[in-house]
Amino acid sequence: MTFRQRAIGAAKLDPAVFEEIEADRHATRQALAVVVLSSAAAGIGLSSSVYDAPVLTRVVLALLLWVFWAALTYAIGVYLTPEPQTEADIGELLRTIGFAAAPGALRVFGFVPIVGPTVYAIATVWMLVAMVIAIRQALDYKSTARAVVVCLIAWVIAVAMSALIGGLLFVLVEELSP
C-alpha cells in the first residue's frame, strides 16, 4: 500500500489500514511525515485571533501536543489500562497514531473567514476518532470504550501540558522582544 493510500485509509477510519501500518516497521517515517504535515497545517490554520503567536510557534506547539499525546497514550494504554491480549511496542503505536493525524491536514483551512474555525474543529474531532481506532488496533483492545478513555485522558493531559508550555513560550518571547 502506498503512502497516499495509507493516509486516505486512515482518514477513512479503516481498521485494516491501521493494522497494516502497525505491522510495517518501514512505515515509521511515513507516520512522522503525516504528523509533521498535520502539525504544520494546525499552526498555519489556527487563527491568530485564537492564539496570538507566530505561525512557527503554533506549528511547534502542535507538534509538541502530538508528542505528549503519543507518549501519554503509550504509557496509559500499555501500563495502566491494558487488556489481557495487549502487546505493543512504541513503534507500533507511533505508526498507527501518526497516521491517525491524517485528517489534521485539513486544519490548514482554519484561517479561512467564516468556515475556517468549523473546518478546523471538524478536522480535530476527526483526528480524535482516528486516534481511538489507531489505539484500539495498536493495543489490540477488544473494547472501543477503553480506547476512547485512553485517548481522552491522554489528550486532556497533553493539551494542558501544551497550553502551559505555550504560555511559557509566549511570555519568554514577549520578554525577549525589544
pLDDT by residue (tens digit) across 107-125? 999 888 889 889 999 999 9
Asked whether the whole model's pTM tops 0.75, one would answer yes
pLDDT (0 to 100) of residue 47: 64
Average pLDDT of the segment spanning 9-20? 96
Q: Is the confidence at residue 126, as pLDDT, over 70?
A: yes
Confidence label for 49 from pLDDT (cuts 50, 70 and 90): low
Neighbours of 25 (CB within 10 A): 10
Which of the pair, 161 or 121, is modelled with greater confidence?
A: 121
Please choose, from the candidates 28, 29, 13, 46, the residue with its C-alpha nearest in 3D space to the C-alpha of residue 127: 13
